[in-house]
């Protein structure tokens, strides 16, 4: 295979799919990971110049490691792992649900870290390898909503500089922290239009901007361990609630 390969978890839909399209259009072989969205993943893979889809339930401990090891044995030039898969259930800062917390931490923090470790151990690449962990602007601008989700992203973000320090040679570990990009849960188009402009520039940040940032990080131009915010300055505007709810309060 002459194209360099990238695995994007959670790539069947939303931001993951936009990242997959952008890498595909720029000459990469894209491995589209999905859990339940098989039809969407296969349709996306079919539209890209060079792609394949792979299924894995990251909520199952160890499942992600098996996927990494299998791909490492088959991909000749696997340069980039992008952990975009994430779950975002609402829960309250005043009443932690142990079941919600356990699943969110597994999918959003533990699995991405263990997969990154396995990728750096076993992936064959013709240049330095890159791990890009998708976090959230909430790591710099937390609020009490989506409590378990926010904790999981803080946990993942904490590993990025540590893993960056330990990276060998030309390998790089990066964070990519988007702001409010796409509608969440039952958010209406009008609510999204309001909430997604609650940032320093009062503009909507596009999913394509996140994809462009991911491709930039894949080139390895930044020092390992850094996090790039793509949020039109949302993380610089303190917010007491998630923008989903702030938009409703404003209305």
- pLDDT (tens place) for every residue of the chain, 251 residues total: 589 999 999 999 999 999 999 999 999 999 999 999 999 999 999 999 999 999 999 999 999 999 999 999 999 999 999 999 999 999 989 988 999 999 999 999 999 999 999 999 999 999 999 999 999 999 999 999 999 999 999 999 999 999 999 998 999 999 999 999 999 888 899 999 999 999 999 999 999 999 999 999 999 999 999 999 999 999 999 999 999 999 998 86
- Alpha-carbon radius of gyration of the chain: 17
- Class for domain 5-183+206-235, per CATH? alpha beta
Euclidean distance between CA atoms 166 and 162, whole angstroms? 7
| pTM metric for this prediction | 0.96
Six-digit token string for 222: 């930044």
Q: Is 76 helix (H, G, I), strand (E, B) or coil?
A: coil
């Amino acid at each position: 295979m002459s194209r360099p390969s990238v695995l994007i978890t959670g790539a069947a839909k939303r931001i993951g799919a936009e990242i997959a399209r952008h890498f595909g259009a720029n000459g990469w072989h894209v491995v589209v990971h999905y859990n339940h969205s098989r039809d969407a993943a296969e349709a996306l893979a079919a539209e890209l110049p060079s792609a394949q889809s792979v299924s894995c339930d990251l909520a199952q401990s160890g499942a992600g490691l098996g996927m990494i090891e299998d791909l490492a044995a088959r991909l000749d030039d696997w340069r980039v792992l992008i952990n975009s898969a994430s779950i975002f259930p609402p829960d309250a800062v005043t009443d932690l649900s142990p079941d919600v917390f356990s699943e969110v931490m597994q999918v959003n923090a533990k699995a991405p870290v263990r997969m990154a470790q396995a990728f750096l151990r076993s992936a064959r690449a013709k240049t330095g390898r890159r791990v890009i962990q998708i976090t959230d602007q909430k790591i710099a601008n937390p609020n009490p909503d989506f409590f378990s989700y926010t904790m999981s992203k803080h946990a993942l973000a904490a590993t990025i500089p540590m893993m960056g320090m330990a990276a060998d040679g030309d390998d790089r570990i990066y964070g990519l922290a988007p702001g409010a990009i796409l509608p969440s849960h039952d958010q209406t188009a009008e609510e999204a239009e309001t909430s997604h402009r609650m940032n320093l520039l009062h503009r909507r940040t596009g999913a394509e901007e996140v994809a462009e940032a991911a491709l930039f990080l894949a080139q390895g131009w930044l020092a390992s361990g850094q996090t790039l915010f793509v949020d039109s300055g949302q993380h610089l505007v303190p917010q007491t609630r998630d923008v989903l709810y702030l938009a409703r309060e404003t209305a």
